[in-house]
């Protein structure tokens, strides 16, 4: 009885009269495990800043003799952690919107050089003068969703800044390549050991949790990038040498290229 009920539930995603093979059950079990892991991860990611917030609120609310300096420091900590939670919720919403669709949410010719000028300004602001920036930007545009592309390119640029120590170099390139269009960010940062590269776009996958959190990471940036690129039929290539730097290359198909948007 229980088994029959289970099967009818399992059949829902495979509706259309198809038989349920054991392979499908394995697949469904995998999806279920991923879902459970995801909920556990989100809960954990939210609990950590919440614990800090609650911990600092307590003395603020109850300790009449708390020195003014401590008060200011505790409030700054609370603000910091609340911002972290807010970033996480924003990224989760972005990701769930992207995952719900298989196409770009709105397509139009995107002025990529203008978009990159804005994103480079944001990257320089994040760097605070600690890195040298280089750019090599061709004039063509791209057919796609401006908001999605902003989010994907922005994540790759901010990662380069966040994982490159002071004094490093960050280079952004937009070019034609093999009939298609290429967006490339290279840095002289900490790099990524080869065994981690295939898993980078998994939700909450981080090579070094400490460094990710310290620099404001949510662990969702590259998952967002992955979905945007899927929507645009683009491919991501990552090359990296630990201690020397990384290069993230995004290759768009020829059909998406727009000669000039201006």
Residue 245 CB, nearest approach to ligand ADP (Å): 7
Cα distances (Å, whole numbers) of residue 192 to 20, 103, 195, 245 = 41, 30, 8, 8
Where do we find the tokens 């952004």? 172
Q: What are residue 171's DSSP bridge partners?
A: 134, 186
Task: List the one residue out of 120, 149, 124 whose CA is nearest residue 137.
Answer: 120
Closer residue to ligand ADP, CB minimum distance, 133 or 205 = 205
CA distance 162 to 214: 9
Pick from 225, 221, 229: which is nearest to 88 by CA? Answer: 221
**Which of the ranges 25-33, 60-68, 188-196, 228-236 carries the binding residues for ligand ADP, by CB under 6 A?**
188-196
Piece of the chain touching ligand ADP by CB under 6 A; list 95-103, 107-115, 120-128, 186-194: 186-194
| Nearer Cβ to ligand ADP (98/192) | 192
Residue 70, judged by CB atoms within 10 A of its CB (0-12, 13-18, 19+), counts as middle
206 binds ligand ADP (CB under 6 A): yes
- Least distance (Å) from ligand ADP to the CB of residue 150? 15
Instruction: Out of 149, 246, 250, 252, point to the residue binding ligand ADP (CB under 6 A).
Output: 246
Q: Residues 200, 234, 236, 250: which binds ligand ADP (CB under 6 A)?
A: 200
Compute the least distance from the CB of residue 229 to ligand ADP, in Å: 13
- CA pair distance 187, 162, nearest whole angstrom: 10
* Binders of ligand ADP in range 16-75 (CB under 6 A): none
For ligand ADP, the binding residues in 210-229 under the rule CB under 6 A are 212, 217-222
Per-residue mark of binding to ligand ADP, 135-174 (x: CB under 6 A): --------------------x---xx--x-----------
CA 220 to chain centre: 4
For strand 180-187 and strand 245-252, is the pairing parallel, antiparallel, or unpaired? antiparallel
Cβ contacts of 239 within 8 Å, gap of 6 or more: 246, 247, 249
Angstrom distance (rounded) from CA 204 to CA 217: 10
Compute the distance between CA of residue 217 and CA of residue 159 in angstroms, rounded to an integer: 9
Binding mask 86-125 for ligand ADP (x = CB under 6 A): ----------------------------------------
Of residues 140 and 206, the one with the C-beta less far from ligand ADP? 206
Q: Provide the binding-site residues for ligand ADP, judged by CB under 6 A.
A: 155, 159-160, 163, 187, 189-192, 200, 205-208, 212, 217-222, 246
């Amino acid at each position: 009885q229980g088994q029959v009920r289970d099967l009818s539930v399992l059949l829902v995603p495979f509706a259309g009269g198809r038989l349920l093979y054991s392979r499908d059950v394995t697949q469904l079990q995998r999806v279920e495990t991923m879902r459970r892991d995801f909920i556990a991860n989100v809960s954990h990611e939210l609990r950590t800043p919440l614990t800090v917030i609650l911990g600092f609120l307590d003395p603020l609310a109850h300790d009449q003799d708390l020195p003014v300096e401590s008060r200011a420091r505790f409030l700054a900590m609370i603000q910091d952690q609340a911002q972290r939670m807010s970033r996480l919720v924003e990224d989760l919403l972005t990701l769930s919107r992207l995952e719900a669709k298989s196409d770009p949410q709105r397509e139009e010719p995107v002025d990529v050089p203008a978009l990159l000028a804005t994103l480079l300004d944001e990257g320089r602001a994040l760097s605070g003068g600690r890195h040298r920036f280089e750019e090599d930007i061709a004039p063509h545009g791209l057919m796609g969703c401006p908001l999605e592309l902003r989010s994907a390119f922005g994540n790759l640029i901010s990662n380069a800044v966040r994982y490159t120590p002071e004094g490093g170099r960050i280079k952004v390139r937009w070019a034609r390549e093999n009939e298609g269009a290429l967006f490339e960010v290279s840095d002289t940062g900490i790099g990524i050991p080869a065994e981690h590269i295939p898993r980078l776009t998994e939700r909450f996958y981080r090579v070094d949790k400490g460094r990710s959190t310290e620099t404001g990471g949510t662990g969702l940036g590259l998952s967002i990038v992955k979905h945007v690129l899927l929507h645009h039929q683009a491919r991501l290539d990552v090359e990296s040498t630990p201690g020397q730097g990384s290069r993230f290359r995004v290759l768009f198909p020829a059909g998406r290229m727009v000669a000039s948007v201006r």
